[in-house]
């Protein structure tokens, strides 16, 4: 990575320096507006992921873009308030990932331990542009409401704050996670949830 910025670029929380070139690897974090300058809520950064070798054809780019903007947990698209997991670089709805993190500290896509999450505003911008051109692809209002509540409830906000700053957060035991999931799925408000949204069951009653 060659830093040509006028305001500075940070690699893994260290200032690179104008015109300096540093190697980057999957899992590295690059910030153009780090928390130390703008506060955690306004951070702008990226997580480095491995690029594929395939060159996609230009035909059907709308469908390809929609697939790329899919939450890797619930599989719905376009993604809503995207976060990227570190070090594996998978993308999720913030609400989905937080709901999952209440029961496990591993990435639901690949199983790696999630050390940190980064708000991915670049993907958010692409999702917004996609919806402007394809309003018919908007997700159900009830699903968005559930995702918003899953992200914004007090327990989730505390957990999200720790995850975005990389503070280690103990995971529940398997037995605890199984018991909590069973209780949540038994709630009347959760009974009607489709299978791919069952991880949000614990928030269904409050979000209704």
How much is the pLDDT for 146? 95
How much is the pLDDT for 54? 46
- pLDDT tens across 103-155, in order? 889 999 999 999 999 999 888 988 998 899 889 999 999 999 999 999 999 99
Question: Does the domain made of 73-176+196-203 have the CATH classification 3.40.50.10320?
Answer: no
Low-confidence stretches of the chain (pLDDT < 50) are 50-59
How much is the pLDDT for 112? 93
Phi, psi dihedral angles at 44 (to 5 degrees): -120, 115
How much is the pLDDT for 148? 96
Provide the residue ranges of all domains of the chain, joining segments of one domain with +.
2-48, 73-176+196-203
29 DSSP β-pair partners = 47
How much is the pLDDT for 122? 86
Prediction pTM value? 0.67
How much is the pLDDT for 102? 87
How would DSSP label each residue in the chain? -B---SS--EETTEE--TT-B----TT-EEEEE-HHHH-GGG-EEEE--PPPS----STTHHHHHHHHT--TTT--SS-SSEEEEETT--EEEHHHHHHHHTT-SB-TTT-PBP-EEEE-HHHHHHHHHHHHH-GGGPPPHHHHHHHHHHHHSHHHHHHHHHHHHT---PPPPHHHHHHHHHHHHHSHHHHTS-GGGGGGGGGHHHH-
């Amino acid at each position: 990575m060659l830093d040509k910025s006028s305001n500075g670029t940070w690699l893994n929380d260290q200032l690179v320096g104008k015109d300096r070139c540093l190697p980057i690897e999957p899992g590295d974090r690059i910030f153009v507006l780090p928390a130390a300058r703008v506060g955690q809520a306004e951070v702008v950064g990226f997580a480095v992921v491995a690029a594929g070798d395939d060159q996609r054809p230009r035909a059907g780019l709308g469908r390809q873009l929609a697939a790329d903007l899919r939450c890797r947990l619930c599989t719905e698209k376009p993604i809503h308030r995207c976060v990227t997991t570190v070090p594996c670089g998978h993308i999720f709805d913030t609400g989905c990932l937080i709901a999952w993190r209440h029961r496990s500290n591993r990435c639901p896509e690949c199983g790696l331990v999630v050390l940190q999450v980064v708000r991915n505003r670049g993907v958010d911008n692409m999702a917004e542009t996609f919806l402007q051109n394809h309003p018919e692809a908007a997700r159900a209002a009830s699903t968005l409401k559930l995702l918003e509540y899953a992200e914004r409830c007090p327990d989730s906000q505390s957990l999200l704050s720790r995850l975005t700053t990389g503070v280690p957060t103990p995971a529940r035991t398997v037995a605890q996670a199984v018991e909590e999931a069973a209780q949540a799925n038994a709630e009347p408000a959760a009974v009607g949830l489709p299978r791919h949204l069952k991880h949000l069951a614990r928030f269904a009653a409050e979000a209704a």
